[in-house]
Amino acid sequence: MTLAQTTATGPIDERGMPGRHLPPRWIAQHSSILLLGLVLLLLPAVAGNFVLDQIVGWTLILGMIALSLMFLAGYGGMVSLVQMTVAGVAGYMVAVLGASSLPTISLFWPWWVATPLAIGIAVVFGTFAGALSARTEGIYTIMITLAIAAAFFYLTLQNWSIFNGFNGFTSIPAPIVFGINWKAPIPLYYLILFCAALSYAAVVYVSRAPFGLALQGVRDDPRRMEAIGYNITAHRIAAYAFAALIAAVGGVLLVWLNNQISPGTAGIEATIDLLVIAVVGGLGHPIGAFVGAFIYVILRTFALDALVAVGLDGRRFQTIIGLGFLVIVLFSPDGVVGLWRRWTARISSADGGSHR
Amino acid sequence: MATAFDGERAVRGGSRGDVLVRWIGGHPAAALITGLAVVGVLWLILAPWPAGFEDLFGRKRLLITALFNGITLGGLYFLVASGFTLIFGLMRNVNLAHGSLYLFGGYMGYETVDWTGSWLLSYVVAFICCAIIGAAMQVLIFRRMEGQDLRQTLTTLGLSIVFADLMVWVWGGNAFQITTPDYLMGPTPVPIVVAVKSSGEAVFLAYPRVRLAIFAAAVLIGIGMWLVLNRTRIGVMIRAGVDDRDMLSVLGYPVQLVFVLVFAFGAGLAGMAGIVGGTFQSISLGEDSHFLLASLQVVIVGGMGSIPGAALGALIIGLSEQIGLVYFQNYATVLTFLIMVIVLALRPQGLLGKR
């Protein structure tokens, strides 16, 4: 697990207690994230609906699901490929329990029953998958979770009685609550932004809470943690449950954004894309998940046209993604965030030198 | 860990027959149940069925064909997964590009049959092509990141994305079927009664000859691998490497050479399996992830790094897939998934895996 160890030095180093610093210093330290939050809050004033939902909204949702993977991989040392599937389960359950264009399958329960239940089922599923893989170590996790994810994909593809096979579900509405139609672009954008910010804060908080610190201990040396009395399997399974909650909320939002879900939503390609997002962004810091998602969404939306514009075959998009991923894995194991950190560190050290 | 050590010593200490006798002595009830189950299954297969059975199992031909399909599919899965499990066992490298090698071998085989018309030659070509790619991957990439499991796995993942897209570029999205050579064309009679005519004459099962031939080849390859692993010097080195890689290199054996050979062999085997798959079914886009998944399931069920485990796992997964397809179509994958879950819950290291 060398990658996780090298990349995750960040979260460990940042363990400094927030209470020790004065508020202005805290603002200065987190200026970039506060600025980003401000920009995202004010974005609807300037940006059109396409940018709001299809670029930023999609980025934040993918970022949330990738964040759950980052949490498990970065803090727990468990590269779980089942997170996209957890999101898929939540999405499918929203369609099955709630409303869709298929009255033969959908149960049309009200949203306040269907949505929490869907999230609950997805969390149970994610926890169960975690319990299966938590007893094995390291590299086995990838194999087992990938096998579970692929099994779910083939199940949705083959099964017509619950998952409606190849076609999946369409016309899944977002609910109307407090008189607001949450399908409308701006309310949906704020809902996504709220959930993403909350999950980010939750991951940052948990990573510094006793549970998160113990989890990082389990990652670094499971034997020693066991020897001093921690139940390492319980810590791992709890981490899976927490991550599954974030992924499940992301899955529900994804269905509300796209209005549809089909086997491809949580297919093998989507599963692998999610890992690519998390690794390219960087497994060392929660923000990496969102950075990776942003790069992915931008590439996905514009690379085709850009490739054609420079005279290349637009269909070679996957090769670009794969090569980019390889470059990151080979040369910057802590992702784009790691590149950025080393770059800023070099700048600041160069500054320090010139002042002396 | 005392029990595991004792078990291992028991396996090493006596011949296989001894182990079986000892196991029966130790678990008389389990042995009785297993024996009865084996006899029951054999009777189900060989004897003509009484009237009530058709209601329970459907037509006998259906069950027997599913069993044969499952076993021959298991042979194909064994070819793919044995290379995967060897590479994993020796180098701790989860080669997620293994499915891509399978698909590439299938395409190369298709091209060879298309050019030369020789089905047997296509195996040689696919084996060599995939072995070269496998060796190149080991020499150029994985040697540089030895001991970094996760990074190696991520690299194979990146490679599989690129490979898949490049293969779409060259061969497009259409499915190809490799033509079966004339001498393996058509059905061959099997001495199993599937039905009795009203005149009292027994109807025997006729099964595609090519599938039987390929299954026989898979068994031969499996026995060959077992002999190489257990009876030759290089086999001893590989087994020692699976057990303790560092110790092998400390003792001055050419570990890097063994790595390259095993990687090339495993990749070549996957390529050959691609031709088998192309003849059985077809080769097309998406088959790479299908067979990667199959290898994962086989290796998880059978035990990681174990060749007999791969054989057992391949048989179980192949059978459960085909039987699931016949009896519960909507939930066929759930059956294989359940088997995986049960194995993981009871024996996380797989049926024949070592800790």
- Average predicted confidence (pLDDT) for chain A: 81
Q: Do B67 and B30 fall within a single domain?
A: no
* CB within 8 Å: A155 and B155: no
Average the pLDDT over A309-316 and give the result. Answer: 70
For B22-68, the pLDDT digits (tens) are: 777 777 777 788 888 888 777 777 666 666 666 666 666 777 888 88
* CB within 8 Å: B337 and A135: no
Q: Is the dihedral of CA A216, A219, A221, A225 positive or negative?
A: positive
Chain A residues within 8 A of B155 when measuring between CB atoms: 326, 329-330
Q: 152-191 in A: which are within 8 Å (CB) of B?
A: 154-155, 158-161
Q: Closest Cα of chain B to A138: distance in Å?
A: 8
For B141-187, the pLDDT digits (tens) are: 888 887 777 888 888 888 998 998 888 888 887 888 888 877 777 77
Q: Do B157 and B13 fall within a single domain?
A: no
A69 band by pLDDT with thresholds 50, 70 and 90: very high
Q: Do B262 and B322 fall within a single domain?
A: yes
∠ CA B108-B114-B119, nearest 5°, is 75
Average the pLDDT over A97-107 and give the result. Answer: 77
* CB within 8 Å: A158 and B293: no
> Rg of the Cα trace of chain B?
22
Q: 26-85 in A: which are within 8 Å (CB) of B?
A: 79
Are the C-beta atoms of A288 and A337 separated by less than 8 Å?
yes
What range does the domain containing B322 cover? 57-180+207-346
- Site from A80, A132, A141, A143 to mutate, B interface, most B CB atoms within 10 angstroms: A143
Average the pLDDT over B98-116 and give the result. Answer: 90
**How big is chain A, counted in residues?**
356
Q: Do B21 and B154 fall within a single domain?
A: no
pLDDT of residue B200: 67
The percentage of chain A sitting over the pLDDT mark of 70, rounded to a whole number, equals: 88
- Average predicted confidence (pLDDT) for chain B: 81
Chain B residues within 8 A of A143 when measuring between CB atoms: 94, 296, 299-300, 304
Q: Closest Cα of chain A to B286: distance in Å?
A: 10
Q: Do B114 and B236 fall within a single domain?
A: yes
Q: Which of A136-140, A187-191, B67-71, B125-129 has the highest average model confidence (pLDDT)?
A: B125-129
pLDDT of residue A4: 43
Q: 234-273 in A: which are within 8 Å (CB) of B?
A: 268-269, 272
pLDDT of residue A252: 92
Specify which residues A176 forms β-bridges with: A181
Average the pLDDT over A124-130 and give the result. Answer: 91
- Closest B-chain CA to A267: B289
Q: Closest Cα of chain A to B120: distance in Å?
A: 33
Q: Do B84 and B216 fall within a single domain?
A: yes
A313 touches chain B (CB under 8 A): yes
Q: Do B132 and B268 fall within a single domain?
A: yes
Give the one of A138, A139, A322 whose C-beta lies nearest to B165's C-beta: A322
B81 touches chain A (CB under 8 A): no
3-state secondary structure (DSSP) of residue B27: coil
Average the pLDDT over A280-292 and give the result. Answer: 87
Q: Do B10 and B72 fall within a single domain?
A: no
Q: Do B79 and B35 fall within a single domain?
A: no
Q: Do B247 and B318 fall within a single domain?
A: yes
A90 band by pLDDT with thresholds 50, 70 and 90: very high
Structure tokens at A344: 């800023």
A352 band by pLDDT with thresholds 50, 70 and 90: low
Average the pLDDT over A103-111 and give the result. Answer: 78
Burial label, B43 (beta-carbon count in 10 A; 0-12, 13-18, 19+): exposed
The percentage of chain B sitting over the pLDDT mark of 70, rounded to a whole number, equals: 86
In a domain, B218, yes or no: yes
Average the pLDDT over B100-116 and give the result. Answer: 90
- Between B214 and A311, the more confident residue is B214
Q: Which of A174-178, A208-212, B147-151, B175-179 has the highest average model confidence (pLDDT)?
A: A208-212
pLDDT of residue B127: 92
In the CATH hierarchy, which top-level class contains the domain A2-355?
mainly alpha
pLDDT of residue B353: 78
* CB within 8 Å: A155 and B337: yes
Q: Do B211 and B318 fall within a single domain?
A: yes
* CB within 8 Å: B150 and A139: yes
Give the one of A1, A272, A316 whose C-beta lies nearest to B150's C-beta: A1
**pLDDT of A356 above 70:** no
Q: Do B38 and B114 fall within a single domain?
A: no
Count residue pairs from A and B with Cβ separation < 8 A. Answer: 124
**Looking at the 3D structure of chain B, how many domains does it have?**
2
**pLDDT of B15 above 70:** no
Average the pLDDT over B105-120 and give the result. Answer: 88
pLDDT of residue B348: 79
Distance CA B311, CA B291 (A): 15
Chain A residues within 8 A of B160 when measuring between CB atoms: 322
3-state secondary structure (DSSP) of residue A169: strand
Q: Which of A11-20, B223-232, B332-341 has the highest average model confidence (pLDDT)?
A: B223-232
Beta strands in A180-302 (DSSP E): 180-181
Q: Closest Cα of chain B to A7: distance in Å?
A: 12
- Between B68 and A64, the more confident residue is A64
* CB within 8 Å: B158 and A155: no
pLDDT of residue B8: 43
Give the CATH number of the domain where residue B70 resides: 1.10.3470
Average the pLDDT over B319-348 and give the result. Answer: 82
pLDDT of residue A173: 75
| CB-based contacts of A220, cutoff 8 Å, min separation 6 | A5, A77
Average the pLDDT over B107-126 and give the result. Answer: 88
- Site from B140, B161, B166 to mutate, A interface, most A CB atoms within 10 angstroms: B161
Are the C-beta atoms of A294 and A39 separated by less than 8 Å?
no
- Between B259 and A9, the more confident residue is B259
Q: Is A77 left (phi over 0), alpha (psi -120 to 50) or beta?
A: left
pLDDT of residue A67: 93
* CB within 8 Å: B154 and A279: yes
Average the pLDDT over A85-101 and give the result. Answer: 87
Are the C-beta atoms of B279 and B290 separated by less than 8 Å?
no
User: DSSP characters for A77-122?
Assistant: ----TTHHHHHHHHHHHHHHHS--S-TTT-----HHHHHHHHHHHH
Average the pLDDT over B317-339 and give the result. Answer: 82
Q: What is residue A14's DSSP assignment?
A: T
3-state secondary structure B281-311: CCECCCHHHHHHHHHHHHHHHHCCCCHHHHH
Chain A residues within 8 A of B147 when measuring between CB atoms: 2
B162 touches chain A (CB under 8 A): yes
User: DSSP characters for B199-257?
Assistant: TSPEEEEEEEHHHHHHHHHHHHHHHHHHHHHHHSHHHHHHHHHHH-HHHHHHTT--HHH
Domain ranges of chain A: 2-355
A148 touches chain B (CB under 8 A): yes
* CB within 8 Å: A150 and B151: no
Q: Closest Cα of chain B to A50: distance in Å?
A: 29
Are the C-beta atoms of B316 and B339 separated by less than 8 Å?
yes
